[in-house]
Structure 1
Amino acid sequence: MARALAINVAANTNLPGVRGPIYPDGSFVYLPIPEREPIDPAAEVPTYDDLQAELSPLPFELPSESRDTSVHLDPEFAGYPCCESYTYGDEHGVKAGPISELQPGDSLFFYATLTRHEPPAEVDTAPAVEWVAPEWGAYLIGEFRVAEVLDSDACGSLSPAEKAAFASNAHYKRAEFDAKVLVRGGDESRLFDRAVPLSTPDAGATANRIVTELSNDSGAGPWWRRRLWFDTEATTRLRSITATGDDSRPIADRLDR
């Protein structure tokens, strides 16, 4: 039976210095972190300016020193600018180990901390929802329905077919390939149109019931930096919650249905 893991990704107040925006209707912009390692000279890696040319206008200016910085576009979501497929890699054992436990058919969810903003005039949004936190919060932004997982041993000896499958991943574009785990998402993978909150509507640092009732985490301390595991029953409920991209109801209502 399927289970799920949720991990923290995307831009934050350390890298590159801002979080991605979430608007009052729950829509958001996924911004990756900057690339911190040398890049293969033959690889095509976008900068923040490249992404901004393809994305809707942001409600703020990126730090000037970041605009021409190459991004670490990981996870990549097919349909997002400069992405070809659904892949994710990680070089840190604290994430790579748990991710390596996933099996085909499991879910790898991605969550990000996002800051609430009013949308720019050029961006059309829907009516406001009640669950967006007043300043910042943690939100699920996408899911991979796992098709393939390569652990550290497999990453150390990729076959030609595996190299082709993960050629668009950010770790493969580094001067030295360093991933200790690689995940390929299947056809049901997607970047959400509307975020799914993990924080309560009152405060970003307060975990909602997805965290405290469905996951293995207590919600104490900085839970928004931790891995969240979901057992088989919880995974079924979480998939149901995230299945409807235009669901504007509070999480409590979605959990209790």
Structure 2
Amino acid sequence: MARALAINVAANTNLPGVRGPIYPDGSVVYLPIPEREPIDSAAEVPTYDDLLAELAPLPFELPGESRDTPVHLDPEFAGYPGCDSYTYGDEHGVKAGPISGLEPGDSLLFYATLTRHEPPAEVDTEPAVEWVAPGWGAYLIGEFRIDRVLDSDACRSLSAAEKAAFASNAHRKRAEFDAKVLVRGGKDSQLFGRGVPLSAPESGSTANRIVTELSNDSGNGPWWRRRLWFDTEATATLRSVTESVDSHPQRLTEWLS
């Protein structure tokens, strides 16, 4: 039976200084963090300007000094600018260890803290939903259905086939490969069009029932920085929520109420 683990990713107020946007209809834009390590001279890594040329217009300006900065495009989602695979890597043991315990068929979920904005005039959106928090909030933005996980031992001695399978991952593009875990998502993986809220609609810092009733977390303190585990029953429920959020957002409103 499948389990799920949710981890925090993407742009934030430290890196690069802004959070990605969420609009009143729940639609989101995934913005990765900047790359902080030297890049292999042969690797092709997009900058923020490269991404902005292909993404829909943002409702704010990125910090000027960051626009020509290469991005750490991790996780990568097939169909996102510059991506044709679903891969994720992590060099930090606090996340790599739990992720290494996932098995094929499990879910690795990615959540981000996002700031509510009105959409730019060029961006078409749908009617507002009730679950987008004022200010900032935490939202699931994508999911990998696990196809393969390489733990720290496997990462220390990648075979030629493994190097090829993960060639597009951001950690493989660093001058020194440093990942302690590598994950490949299967065909059912996706970047969500709408975020799935983990925050309550009244406040970003207040956890909703996805956190307090489905995950292992109490929702006390800065829960939005922690790893969230979901057992098999909770994972089945969560998948039913995430699978309908893009096409039937009202179902999520009803479930959260």
| 1:237 partner SS | helix
Alignment-derived partner of residue 250 in structure 2: 249
- Alpha-carbon separation, structure 2, partners of 1:28 and 1:74: 17
2:131–2:253 CA contact under 8 A, matched in 1: no
Quote the residue 2:121 is aligned against: 121
Matches within 5 A, 1:1-257: 1-244=1-244, 245-249=246-250, 251=252, 253-254=254-255
Counterpart CA distance in 2 for 1:252 and 1:97 is 34
The whole-number CA distance in structure 2 between the counterparts of 1:237 and 1:169 is 30
What is the total number of aligned residue pairs between the two structures? 256
The aligned amino acid for 1:214 is L
Q: Which amino acid aligns with 2:73?
A: L
SS across alignment from 1:148 = strand
Q: Which amino acid aligns with 2:255?
A: R
Q: Deviations over 1:58-94 (max 9, x none)?
A: 0000000100000000000000001120000000000
Give yes or no for contact 2:86–2:186 (8 Å, CA) kept in 1.
yes
SS of match in other structure, 1:239: helix
Following TM superposition, where does structure 1 have runs of at least 4 consecutive aligned residues deviating by more than 2 angstroms?
Answer: 249-256
Contact 2:22 2:29 in 1 (8 A): yes
Give the alignment's TM-score, normalised by structure 1: 0.98
Structure 1 residues 131, 252: closer, same or farther in 2, change over 3 A? closer
Q: 1:158 and 1:173 mapped to 2: Cα distance?
A: 14
Letter in 1 for 2:92: H
What residue identity is the alignment partner of 1:64? G
Secondary structure of 2:62's aligned partner? coil
Distance 1:133 1:106 in 2: 29
Uncovered stretches (5+) of structure 1, i.e. residues with no partner: none
State the SS of the aligned residue for 2:5. strand
Residue 248 of structure 1 deviates from its aligned partner by: 1.8
In the alignment, the residues of structure 2 paired with residue 60 and residue 169 of structure 1 have an alpha-carbon distance, to the nearest angstrom, of 28
Secondary structure of the corresponding residue to residue 83 of structure 1: coil
CA distance in 1, matches of 2:46, 2:181: 23
SS of structure 2 residue aligned to 1:84: coil
- The one-letter code sitting in structure 1 at the alignment partner of 2:249 is S
Q: Which moved more, 1:155-164 or 1:31-40?
A: 155-164
In 2, distance between residues paired with 1:112 and 1:249? 22
CA distance in 2, matches of 1:19, 1:144: 22
Structure 2, gaps ≥5 residues long: none
Question: In 2, Cα distance between the equivalents of 1:162 and 1:255?
Answer: 41
Aligned letter for 2:121? A
More displaced stretch, 237-246 vs 23-32: 237-246
Q: How far apart are the structure 1 equivalents of 2:9 and 2:168?
A: 18
CA contact (8 A) 2:10 2:32 kept: yes
Which AA in structure 2 matches 1:141?
Answer: I
Paired residues of 1:131 and 1:250 also in contact (CA < 8 A): no
Amino acid at match of 1:43: A
How far is the alpha carbon of 1:255 from its aligned partner? 5.9
Report the Cα offset of residue 250 of structure 1.
Answer: 6.6
Distance in 2, matches of 1:82 and 1:43, equals 13
